[in-house]
Amino acid sequence: MINSIGSSGSMPPPPPRSSQPLTEDQQQLLTDTLSEYDTENLTSSDAQSIIETLSDAGIQPGKELESAMAELGFDAKNIGELAGGEHRPPPPPEQSSEEISSISNFLIEMVAAKLAETGQNELSSADKEDIFSKLYEKFGIDDGESVINTTA
C-alpha cells in the first residue's frame, strides 16, 4: 500500500505564507521609531537599533513592512544591509528523531485512513492538501515552513 503512494507523484508545496498588514499600533511604533533617524545618515548601529525595536514588537520583515518603511522614506533592504545581519532570526531548532518519528507516524496514519476511506490506491490533490493542513495544525507548523528540517 505504501509503495503505491510513492508512485503517485510528489506532494504539493505548502501554501504560501500570507503577508500580514501592520496593525495601527505597529504602524505607529514604526513611524515613531523611524522619526528618530535621518535617512541620509543612518549608521550600522542605527540600523541594528531599528531592527531590534521592530523585532521586539513582533514586526516581521516582509513586503508590508518594506512598503510602510518606503512610505516613511526609508529603504528596508538598506537598513538590513547596514545592520549586517546580526539581528537575523535564529535558525529553526533541530528536529529530534522523536519529532521526526511522530510526524512520520502521523502521516502514515493519515494516508492509510484516507486511502481506506476513499477505497483508492492513490491520493487526490485535495486529499494531499487536507492531510498537510492537518499535519501543519497538529504540529504547529506555520504556512510556508518546511515539514522537513533541511539544516544539518
- Helix, strand and coil content of the chain, in percent to the nearest 5, comes to 55, 0, 45
Burial (CB count <10 Å: 0-12, 13-18, 19+), residue 83: buried
Q: What is the pLDDT of residue 70?
A: 92
Q: What is the pLDDT of residue 94?
A: 64
Q: What is the pLDDT of residue 102?
A: 81
**Average pLDDT taken over every residue of the chain:** 77
pLDDT in tens, 46-68: 999 999 998 888 888 888 889 99
C-alpha pair distances (Å), 60 with each of 45, 47, 76? 19, 15, 12
Burial (CB count <10 Å: 0-12, 13-18, 19+), residue 58: exposed
pLDDT of 35 higher than 90: yes
What span, in angstroms and rounded, lies between the C-alpha atoms of 29 and 69?
A: 11
Q: With cut-offs at 50, 70 and 90, classify the pLDDT of residue 21.
A: confident
- What sign has the CA pseudo-torsion 45, 48, 54, 58? negative
Grid look-up 535558525 returns 91
What span, in angstroms and rounded, lies between the C-alpha atoms of 61 and 22?
A: 11
Q: What is the largest CA-CA distance in the chain?
A: 67
Closest by CA to 13, choosing from 149, 123, 148, 144, is: 144
pLDDT of 30 higher than 80: yes
Q: What is the pLDDT of residue 4?
A: 42
pLDDT in tens, 111-145: 888 888 888 888 888 888 888 888 888 877 777 77
Going by the DSSP 8-state scheme, the letter that residue 137 receives in this structure is H
